């Protein structure tokens, strides 16, 4: 295990030994659906018969004016109660790769859940790990799904980011301790971005099989981009989903404060519309 990531072989071990965990397939649709409909969407990605399905739309704020932001505390608590989540049972989120699961992980961490994990490489990695060596189970016997690292998960507002952006644009030394890090792909970043931000696409954090790069390679990635991990890094993307992959990587790199600009560029552009 690294940070909040759980490997496919380790999850196999937990399932095989009937460990008390909650496995959740994370999906994202444009509209709300009932449980039966959500399960139909998730049917192709099945790890266990008793796994749950989480549709991100159900733990997302009403998309007016900005889509896919964090829900209110009341909305989140209502969802938790109706779907039988608790703080003691470890939760493993997964999707086809990692994208939706990372957002679910951040949301639950934001609202105080500590035992939440993401399947590294997603269902595709699980699907291709059925031949893992059963003798490797000895490696996992001493592992335990404890509370996650004592880092702080925080969501910043447009006002917060506006101040940082102003400092960066005007090369004010007060902005030297901050970095606005945009995880979108480069073509989308070039179409419009928060002034003073730096682009490091989320795909660069991942291997070809969509697992997270090794700790050493993540360190090299930041070094090659001249990113100082000791700075206060504000993670952004289009709406706040893909940047959660960067947050998973930063946790592995022992970052103590995980910062997300929820709503990200769409929120920024709503408050600071581009001139046509």
Over range 193-214, report the average pLDDT: 97
Averaged pLDDT for residues 119-127: 91
Which residues are bridge partners to 53 per DSSP? 25
Nearest-angstrom CA–CA distance, 145 and 148: 8
pLDDT at 143: 67
Query: Is residue 135 pLDDT above 60, yes or no?
Result: no
pLDDT band at residue 121, thresholds of 50, 70 and 90?
Answer: very high
Distances (CA, A) of 19 to 12, 49, 133, 164, 266: 10, 14, 19, 45, 41
DSSP label at residue 44: T
Omega of the bond leading into 65 within 30 degrees of 0 (cis): yes
pLDDT tier at 276, thresholds 50, 70, 90: very low
**DSSP string across 67-104:** TTPPPPHHHHHHHHHHTT--SSS-EEEE-SSSHHHHHH
The backbone region for 254, taken as left when phi is positive above 0, alpha when psi lies in -120 to 50, beta otherwise, is left
What's the pTM value of the predicted model, to 2 decimals?
Answer: 0.91
User: Contact, 109 vs 153, CB < 8 A?
Assistant: yes
- Alpha carbons within 13 angstroms on the beta-carbon side of residue 232 total 16
- Of the listed ranges 35-49, 61-75, 98-112, 127-141, the least confidently predicted one is 127-141
* Residue pair 268/160 in contact by the 8 Å Cβ criterion: no
Per-residue CA distances from 51 to 89, 91, 178 (Å): 13, 11, 40
At 243, is the pLDDT very low, low, confident or very high (cuts 50, 70, 90)? very high
| pLDDT, the chain, mean | 88
């Amino acid at each position: 295990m690294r940070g909040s990531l759980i490997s496919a072989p380790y999850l196999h071990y937990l399932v095989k030994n009937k460990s008390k965990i909650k496995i959740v397939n994370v999906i994202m649709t444009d509209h709300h659906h009932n449980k039966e409909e959500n399960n139909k969407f998730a049917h192709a990605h099945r790890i266990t018969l008793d796994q749950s399905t989480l549709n991100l739309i159900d733990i997302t704020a009403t998309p007016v004016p900005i889509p896919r932001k964090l829900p209110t505390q009341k909305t989140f608590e209502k969802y938790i109660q109706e779907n039988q989540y608790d703080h003691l049972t470890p939760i493993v989120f997964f999707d086809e790769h990692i994208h939706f699961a990372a957002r679910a992980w951040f949301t639950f961490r934001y609202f105080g859940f500590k035992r939440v994990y993401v399947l590294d490489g997603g269902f595709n990695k699980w699907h291709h790990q059925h031949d893992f060596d059963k003798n490797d189970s000895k490696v996992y016997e001493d592992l335990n799904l404890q509370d996650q690292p004592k880092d702080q998960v925080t969501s910043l507002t447009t006002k917060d980011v506006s101040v940082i952006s102003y400092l960066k644009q005007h090369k004010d030394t007060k902005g030297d301790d901050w970095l606005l890090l945009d995880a979108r792909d480069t073509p989308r970043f070039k179409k419009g971005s928060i002034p003073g931000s730096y682009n490091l696409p989320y795909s660069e954090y991942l291997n070809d099989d969509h697992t997270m790069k090794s700790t050493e390679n993540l360190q090299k990635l930041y070094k090659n981009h001249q990113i100082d991990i000791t700075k206060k890094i504000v993670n952004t993307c289009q709406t706040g989903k893909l940047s959660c992959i960067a947050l998973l990587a930063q946790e592995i790199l022992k970052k103590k404060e995980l910062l997300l600009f929820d709503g990200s560029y769409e929120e920024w552009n709503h408050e600071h519309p581009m001139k046509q």
